[in-house]
Amino acid sequence: MNLLRGKIHEVSRSLLPVMALVMLITFTLVKVDPDVVWRFLLGGFLLLIGLAVFLLGVDLAMAPIGDRMAQELATSRSALKMAFFSFLLGFLVTVAEPDLLILSQQVQTASGGTVSAMVMVYVVSAGVGLLIALGTFRLLGGRVSYPLFMALAYGVILLLSFLVSEEFLAVGFDSSGATTGALTTPFVLALTVSLSRIKGGRNAEEDSFGMVGVMSVGPIIAVMLLSILSGQERIQGTPETFVPASGILSPILHELPGVFRESFIALLPLTALFFLMNAVKFKVPGREAARIAKGLVYTLLGLVLFLTGVYSGFMDMGQVIGRSIAERFNWLLPVVGFLLGMIVVLVEPAVHVLGQQIEEATGGRVPLRLIRVTLSLGVALAIAGSMLRIMIPWVKLWYFLLPGFLASVILSFRSDPVFVGIAYDAGGVASGPVTATFVLAFAQGAAAMTPTANVLVDGFGVIAMVAMAPVVSIMTLGMFFRRREQALPRLEETRAAPSAESLPGRIEFLDCVVAVVKRGLSERAVEIAREAGAGGATILHGRGSGGHDMKLFHVEVQKEKEIIFMLTDTRQSETVADRLYRELDLGGEGSGTVFMMPSGAYGVGMPVSIGTREDTAEEEADPLHGKSTAEELLPKPPGGD
């Protein structure tokens, strides 16, 4: 129950401010039928509860399934099996993505049934599966850098864009943003983290990001190929006439059976694949299997409530407000779009998570506040730009997307490597459920009431714009961070403590400096310690046995922490500890600790092991290396020896 309350709080932070803005607009700018208002409020409640239950199910079921599937992928010796399995995973998880189900229904409605919703879902899912297969080969093979891979992928998109119409271009880019939603994003992130952990190596942190960005390329290519191979240059058809449903409860009850059937069919293939693999290969313990089964039930229930709330209330209100403002206050469209963009990102919980990931990767140098402000401005400008496309006939979608993604490709070669994967993943973070539901419906309503606009051309593309903005903004931050990092060693040289070799006299006494830091900061901690004069370091993960946190010298070490042991000359220990405390901000954002222990005279059987996980080749040349294991530093359990 506590987990569910946490999810409700998380979802309400992103949903309630948008609902408050909508209600403010209905009381000041537009007149909305009371049935639509009440259905919007009831639909918002269903969306809130449904998305919270859905996300709880994703945590209980999709993350463990992704981890198991990743182990199967990474340990496979058959390239054909790896390709088929990764494609199948990407395909099945995307078929069940709620944002894609919503978008495909909107495409079918806007095209008058010319483009079938189910065809759209399966074509886009196939594109995702293909790119996840290629991304898996790239990650495990390590022969093609991530920036080069993404540059080649967007090069293919650029070539195909000359062969398709504006309608397919807009729908293709929107489907890209819709596939990185509430189900696919956590599943693919779990898959990527597991693959990078199994692969290991010095680039494990960089490899933990980027697969969401890889998969988002697949839908664009798939929709473009659908246009080319089918010979359908344009989407022909008359949009269905929009008529808001009447009543409050009856439209909701009318939607419920169809939504349940659609959701059940969408989740069934992935569920069947997991339990089949579990019976043949995984054989997970009964308790874990029951937990996953319960999570899948939560996922289905949440998906049904979420989609029912969207179809019966949220989308109608978005259409009504978009139509009313476009008809009466056309000049306000960019202003309302800008405000929506600011709110959507500032209150999006996933943006907060992304900011924490970047803080960890940069050692706290790029603060969360800067990330959120940068993203919110970028997304706000993107939605405002989409409204300008609707208002001004000659402003085309590619005027924004071509320079934006071209800048992203160029910046990817100049940005810090960790930022590149995070930036491409960030597009999926910003284009969340609110964008795929209310914002897209708002844009379509505005396009329908603008005489010079085309619903299929101008009513779509807003998700693509929202997905592009974080890529450019985060990559720009990464470029500045890389420049700062390159300048930092020159600054450090002026104030670095003298190395052990430069101090007068031989080393007689040693201290063990112990730092407990957030996961992802250990490499930076070792770098700082070396600059201050330490030798190497031993890095341990704070994972205790039986799922409990580890206790080290009466200090509780949580599983998301890492422990670094560094052997230093006593004359330098305080300098090393002080540098670690200040530069990692362990008293604030860094959230950690550092302390020292006297180790005794040099050369008298030191009970420590020094050397990073990648420093074994240097061990013989380092006079500070001992021969004992890192476990000797840990306190012995009571009654043990």
Q: What is the pLDDT of residues 407-448, one digit of tens each?
A: 888 888 887 777 777 777 777 666 666 676 778 888 888 888
Q: Is the pLDDT of residue 636 over 50?
A: no
Burial 347-357, CB ≥16 within 10 A → b, else e: bbbbbbebbeb
Q: Is 5 helix (H, G, I), strand (E, B) or coil?
A: helix
Domain assignment present for residue 5? The answer is no
**Number of domains present in the structure of the chain:** 2
Per the structure, the complete domain to which residue 113 belongs is given by 17-233+247-482
> What confidence category does residue 366 fall into, taking pLDDT thresholds of 50, 70 and 90?
low
Specify whether 467 is located in the same domain as 544.
Answer: no
> What confidence category does residue 125 fall into, taking pLDDT thresholds of 50, 70 and 90?
very high
pLDDT for the residue numbered 635: 38
Domain assignment present for residue 618? The answer is yes
Q: What is the pLDDT of residues 194-250, one digit of tens each?
A: 677 666 655 655 666 678 888 888 898 998 888 888 777 666 556 666 667 777 888
Specify whether 592 is located in the same domain as 526.
Answer: yes
Domain assignment present for residue 493? The answer is no
Q: Which of 452, 482, 512 is at the close of a domain?
A: 482
Domain assignment present for residue 218? The answer is yes
Specify whether 110 is located in the same domain as 189.
Answer: yes
Q: Decide which of 190 and 114 is more confident.
A: 114
pLDDT for the residue numbered 419: 76
Q: What CATH number is given to the structural domain containing 519? A: 3.30.70.120
Specify whether 262 is located in the same domain as 187.
Answer: yes
Q: Is the pLDDT of residue 487 over 70?
A: no
Domain assignment present for residue 9? The answer is no
Specify whether 281 is located in the same domain as 253.
Answer: yes
Q: Which of 423, 451, 482 is at the close of a domain?
A: 482
- With a pLDDT cut of 70, the percent of the chain lying above it is 74
Residue 498, φ and ψ in degrees, nearest 5: -65, 145
pLDDT for the residue numbered 113: 75
Q: Where do we find the tokens 């993350």?
A: 63
Q: Decide which of 4 and 620 is more confident.
A: 4
Contact by Cβ (8 Å): 389, 395: yes
Q: Is the pLDDT of residue 489 over 70?
A: no
Question: For residue 509, what is the enclosing H or E element?
Answer: strand 509-518
| Count of CB atoms situated within 10 Å of the CB of 324 | 19
Q: What is the mean pLDDT of residues 618-629?
A: 35
Enumerate residues 6+ apart whose C-beta is below 8 A from 140. 73, 74, 82, 195, 199
Specify whether 407 is located in the same domain as 547.
Answer: no
Specify whether 45 is located in the same domain as 173.
Answer: yes
Rg (CA), the chain: 27
Helix axes 315-328, 333-346, angle to 10 degrees: 150
Specify whether 521 is located in the same domain as 389.
Answer: no
Specify whether 383 is located in the same domain as 447.
Answer: yes
Domain assignment present for residue 175? The answer is yes
- With a pLDDT cut of 90, the percent of the chain lying above it is 2
Q: Can you spell out the DSSP letters for 26-53?
A: HHHT----HHHHHHHHHHHHHHHHHHHH
Domain assignment present for residue 490? The answer is no
Q: What one-character DSSP code corresponds to residue 628?
A: S
> What confidence category does residue 626 fall into, taking pLDDT thresholds of 50, 70 and 90?
very low
The model's pTM: 0.65
Domain assignment present for residue 241? The answer is no
Q: What is the pLDDT of residues 297-347, one digit of tens each?
A: 998 898 888 888 888 877 888 888 888 888 888 888 899 889 888 877 765
Specify whether 206 is located in the same domain as 77.
Answer: yes
Specify whether 441 is located in the same domain as 510.
Answer: no
Specify whether 572 is located in the same domain as 470.
Answer: no
Query: For 310-348, where are the alpha helices, taking DSSP H only?
Result: 315-328, 333-346
pLDDT for the residue numbered 641: 38
